[in-house]
């Protein structure tokens, strides 16, 4: 869904071209998983 929205917004905001790169998407998914695990894993 985010990639679809980024494709629609790319002509207006060039920052969203980052979503075309697989490395950027993988780094963001790793950081998201890390953040969720730190948030949910605290006792």
Q: Provide the terminal-to-terminal Cα distance of the chain, rounded to the nearest Å.
A: 33
Q: How confident is the model at residue 23, as a pLDDT?
A: 95
Given a cut of 70, is residue 43 above it in pLDDT?
A: no
Domain boundaries along the sequence of the chain: 2-40
Model confidence over 3-39: pLDDT tens digits?
Answer: 888 888 888 888 888 888 899 999 999 999 999 999 9
Q: How confident is the model at residue 1, as a pLDDT?
A: 78
């Amino acid at each position: 869904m985010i990639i679809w929205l980024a494709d629609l917004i790319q002509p207006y905001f060039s920052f969203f071209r980052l979503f075309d790169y697989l490395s950027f998407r993988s780094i963001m998914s790793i950081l998201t998983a890390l953040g969720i695990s730190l948030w949910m894993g605290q006792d």
